[in-house]
Amino acid sequence: MKDSVTEEHLYLSFSHQYRDSVFPLHTSISLFLLSYCDCKLFKIFLVPTGENVDDQFVRKNLTGDLEVHLISRCQLPLVVQSCCLPAVVVKDGKFCRAGLSVVLRHIIQKTYEADPSRKDVSELLGFKKTCLKACAEVSQWTRLCEISIPLAVEGFLTASPEHCHTIPPDILQLERKLGEPVRVHNDDKIRRQKLQQQKAGARAAVPVFGKEATEEGKTVEIHERPLPSLELSVAFSKLLVQEVSDTVNRESAHIRRTKTSDLPLLDHVFAEGLYFTLADIVLFPCIHQFLVYSKKQGKNMVNLPLISSWYQRVQEVPGVKKAAGKCNMELLQLPELMSAPEDKLQDFSSVPVEVEEENEDSNFIGGPRPTMTKLMENGIEAKFSPHPCPSWTLDWTSLPSAVSPGEGKMSRDRALRKQQQLNNLVAAVTKLSKPGDVIVDFCSGGGHVGIVLAHMMPSCQVVLIENKELSLIRAKDRSDELGLDNIWFIQANMDYFNGTFNIGVALHACGVATDMVIEHCIKARAAFVVSPCCYGFIQNTVKFKYPRSHQFKEILSYKVFSMLSFALILGKQCMGLVDLDRAWAAEGRNYSVQVISMEPESCSPKNNMFVGIPT
């Protein structure tokens, strides 16, 4: 174990206890991971959502061997008060990580950094360390694990008995996901091994853990039993840090010649495929509570054979039963659910999936030009307001080097263009701001916008929000070099920031992120200065549907509107129309919005900029 690890404070919300879990479930999940990792690197605080919480009762009954402290919301560091919990903050109170996935991934990384022998913990992040890294707004899988399943289970547990007869749709979606074919790195090799096993009629015998999980330096009870698939053999071999036997690895000539399209598909062993990952850690406490409550209500879980099998299988993973014991989870044994009669299985193809219904004009020929023509016929053309201060510029030569975007690996030409882009945003923010304002730099990346604003406006508080940890760390390093004390750094998805602010800024927010920023500003009744980017990535999501404005919706369907996003030759006009739709949508919610071209336009191919002010 490495010494002198900087202490960090972990803040978890606490609403109530139900049976053997702490609610909200995000807190139970966080405590379960801490127990699984045997992590003592964080000072843990529970933040009650109500009053009259018994400190001694919480410490004795809810948190196992973890030392916890109770703290009221008003006692939280200011940066944490602006975030949804769970959240982790470094002692200086300037750098905060918020949101379930971000916090859990950080716990894993810190555990492994402190003890590099814990490769089992590092493996939870999956192939290329990307498990649950994508934000919930763009990743359906992250959203299902991080948001939908916990909320569905909480709703299921608190619903009246007469409303608990049906399985929540999100649970059914997970069952369907577990039945989908698995795609993993190097799966061609594993699929050929599976084909060979099928042809040989073989069954793989792999070690399965008995009541005691494998622990350092301890003798454990291990016994073998036949498992029904090669997938299980591969999965548990990795958990045991060993290879699949040579007899399984060798392939005959006719197996090697088999086309990839003719190879058998792989089945799920764990939530993301063959290997035990953070997704299983997140889902396990949720599904446990769901199954416990269902059993108490006398419900037959025969319609969820895959979830039930997965739940049993996770219990066999080394360390899971021990972690569950620390968290006072009384695990169920459900052998009767492992082999449900086919005639009782639910047809999961009937589970509703969001489908975008289109009312298309069958005579309309798609493409950007016909789309633009259709809009022009209805009196709609791209509109650009004059730039309020086209010649305004910062005196970059007089600024400290750490303020300049040229710091780092950026080429000289690119740094110049970045400075020109920043001139436009800083000019607009300077005109809107007043002393004491809170300015939020959304999708801040390495902090090019936020650091300039914090340096130029010392009387304002600047908050940088970014999902990518390394980018935010680079930004904090630059800020520390400058000695800025009016700046916070929050690693989180936008939805986990709920602080009040006066101005929102974003430079080249990618695709739907532009609309997320504008929506966040509108909800806060804050002004915004936003430069969009990556129009080709605009797509309908759970929260955002296109077109955005009622004027465009009356003329274009989503499919026709999307033609504007992929135009290359007509880029400026098409981008202008997409942004006009965004501007009109904001104006429909009591904002005055201008769409401006940055000066000089050569500073970027994506040179549009919104300036929105609440009316």
29-60 pLDDT tens trace: 999 999 999 999 999 999 998 766 666 656 55
Provide the CA 364 distance to its chain's centre, in angstroms. 38
Mean pLDDT taken over the chain: 83
126-176 pLDDT tens trace: 888 999 998 888 889 999 999 999 999 999 988 877 666 688 999 999 999
Q: How many CB atoms lie within 10 A of CB 51?
A: 6
Same-domain check for residues 95 and 36: yes
pLDDT score of 254 = 63
Same-domain check for residues 381 and 294: no
> Is 256 a domain residue?
no
Same-domain check for residues 458 and 508: yes
Same-domain check for residues 437 and 535: yes
pLDDT score of 93 = 80
Q: Residue 571 has which token pair?
A: 């880029």
How many residues are present in the chain? 615
Position of tokens 């062993």? 269
Same-domain check for residues 283 and 392: no
568-599 pLDDT tens trace: 556 888 999 999 999 999 999 999 999 999 99
d(CA 319, CA 309): 18
pLDDT score of 568 = 55
Same-domain check for residues 453 and 321: no
Count of structural domains within the chain: 2
> Is 350 a domain residue?
no
Q: What is the pTM of this model?
A: 0.86
438-461 pLDDT tens trace: 999 999 999 999 999 999 999 999
**Three-state secondary structure of 109-141:** HHHHHHCCCCHHHHHHHCHHHCCCCCCCCCCHH
Same-domain check for residues 167 and 39: yes
Range 351-359 contact pairs with CB under 8 angstroms and sequence separation of 24 or more = 351/169, 351/172, 351/173, 351/176, 352/169, 353/173, 354/542, 356/540, 356/558, 358/557, 358/558, 358/559, 359/557
Same-domain check for residues 372 and 321: no
pLDDT band for position 290 (cuts 50, 70, 90) = very high
Same-domain check for residues 306 and 434: no
Q: Residue 258 above 90 pLDDT? A: no
Residue 389's domain comprises: 368-614
Report the CATH number that the domain containing residue 57 is assigned in CATH.
1.20.1050
pLDDT score of 365 = 62
> Is 453 a domain residue?
yes
Percent of the chain whose pLDDT exceeds 90: 56
Q: Residue 219 above 60 pLDDT? A: no
pLDDT score of 181 = 81
Same-domain check for residues 570 and 466: yes
Q: Residue 357 above 50 pLDDT? A: no
pLDDT band for position 302 (cuts 50, 70, 90) = low
- Which residues, including other chains, have CB under 8 Å from residue 482's CB and lie 6 or more apart? 400, 402, 403, 451, 455
CA dist 36 → 56, 324, 401, 515 (Å): 24, 8, 45, 38
> Is 340 a domain residue?
no
Report the CATH number that the domain containing residue 387 is assigned in CATH.
3.40.50.150
> Is 210 a domain residue?
no
303-335 pLDDT tens trace: 788 999 999 999 999 999 999 999 989 999 875
pLDDT band for position 209 (cuts 50, 70, 90) = very low
pLDDT score of 484 = 95
> Is 242 a domain residue?
no
d(CA 375, CA 382): 10
Q: Per-residue pLDDT averaged across 65-88, rounded?
A: 91
Same-domain check for residues 558 and 455: yes
> Is 266 a domain residue?
no
Same-domain check for residues 466 and 580: yes
* 591-597 vs 503-510, strand pairing mode: unpaired
**Lowest-pLDDT choice from 39-48, 183-192, 373-382, 505-514:** 183-192
> Is 591 a domain residue?
yes
